[in-house]
Amino acid sequence: MTLQHLLGGIVGAGNVLTAPEDTKPYFTDWRRQYSGAAECVVRPASTSEVAAVVALCDREGVAVVPQGGNTGLVGGSVPMGKRREIVLSLSRMNRIRAIDPLNDTATVEAGCVLAAVQKAAQDAGRLFPLSLAAEGSCQIGGNLSTNAGGVNVLRYGTAREQVLGLEVVLPDGRVWNGLRALRKDNTGYDLKQLFLGAEGTLGVITAAVLRLFPRPSANATAWIALESPRAAVALLALLRERLGDRFSAFELISRASLEAVLAHSRDAHDPLRDVHPWYVLAELGDSGEPTMLRERVENALADCAERGALCDAALAQSGEQSRSLWRIRETIPEAQFTNVKHDISVPVSRIPEFIARAGEALEATFGKIPIYCFGHVGDGNLHYNVGSEALMPRSAEVSRVVYDTLTEFGGSISAEHGLGQLKREEIRRHKDPLELELMRALKDTLDPKGLMNPGKVL
């Protein structure tokens, strides 16, 4: 029997895709940056089907590429086409298994679309805070496997921190049921941490117990003009002293980024009258009355203005105003679509110096070129995009300058997107060889045949 027949015996022939028109969306990522062929796409509907598929592949020596919404940015969910491989799509495993409002937990399958998890939490009167641009199509299994970040990390942490328990199919097809719904459990090594952020290279996450939170009943959105990134970092510290942990986002936006949006979108307009070199978009959430929160934010901003800690600020007076401020932030990526992109992080305190130094280093090599710098300054995470289409042929050179500057600052070359195929080689220039050796030792222990998502991460 062929592999396809055997797989069909497990998941049903209709769930083994081989025709090019069927497999195409699974073999290429959504931005069409990565493409590779595999023998087929297999779509199991349950944990036991996943286990049987993986066990079969283990016996046959066929590699497995786990895939969720295929919205990743580093090619982690796309086959490489270099060996016998199948794509294992989790999209049919999309049940919300349970919601427990009194334990503030949701038990969900890997193939649940992130927005569906958010919706299920909302229907139970709770918040699932993970939120990112692809939430309408990315799947929670992929979010967990890549330790996704997004706009609420400042307050709620990354995907890793949302997880209390996991169910994982191991590379030999055995199922580890670690679906505990406990906030405290010190009974040995915390195995779930291994699989979170491993980009499918150590096993297949099939389900998870996620934390839920109280829903904020009040929100406030502020657009703040500043002289410099240094002022943004200082302002964050000052405002957190006054407003505590209410911040869910604190997004830095350079004037160049705003201008790109204004040029790209007719609907967009500059929220302030005067021109300023830098901005922050801040979002806050709280329980209680919205007017109470807005009053506190207004007072804190007025106080900061008086102390010279900001140039100007506008507080959204309605949901519509808040959405239009956020639209500016969300439009930045498409407004400067083709250039050399970097998803990087440094300690928050070192952002100003990094931005200055990287700018100088780039100018020294490439002359005056546009730099679109924006991102989650509260997490030390910048999207640092350089040049325009004309610079693309020199993208490797550009990235080299950015990453080498970054390493001097104790930064990370992948803050929230992962390594995948894209940064698998580059990371070797930045990581301690001992750390790479430990990673390899873990990989060899859990996946001795090297069948789980080969060519990614390591």
Nearer to its own copies, 40 or 224 (CB): 224
d(CA 64, CA 205): 13
Burial of 255 (0-12, 13-18, 19+ CB in 10 A): middle
| Spatial CA neighbour of 376 closest among 251, 285, 280, 290 | 251
CB of 196 to its own copies, least distance (A): 7
CB of 189 to its own copies, least distance (A): 5
CB of 30 to its own copies, least distance (A): 19
CB of 326 to its own copies, least distance (A): 21
Nearer to its own copies, 317 or 349 (CB): 349
Neighbours of 397 (CB within 10 A): 13
**Residue 215 per-residue DSSP state:** P
Tell me the HSE value of 245 on the side-chain side, using a 13 A CA sphere: 8
CB of 432 to its own copies, least distance (A): 6
CB of 185 to its own copies, least distance (A): 4
For residue 305, give every residue at least 6 positions away whose Cβ sits within 8 Å of its Cβ, in sequence order, or none. Answer: 312, 313
Nearer to its own copies, 357 or 431 (CB): 431
Nearer to its own copies, 363 or 435 (CB): 435
Report yes or no: 100 and 188 within 8 Å, Cβ to Cβ.
no
Extended strands (E) in 118-192:
126-127, 163-169, 175-178
What are the start-end ranges of the H helices in 377-432?
395-408
- DSSP codes of every residue in 32-100: S--B---SEEE---SHHHHHHHHHHHHHHT-EEEEESS---SSSTTS--SSSSEEEEE-TT---EEEEE
Nearer to its own copies, 180 or 394 (CB): 180
CB of 306 to its own copies, least distance (A): 18
Nearer to its own copies, 284 or 401 (CB): 284
Nearer to its own copies, 110 or 284 (CB): 284
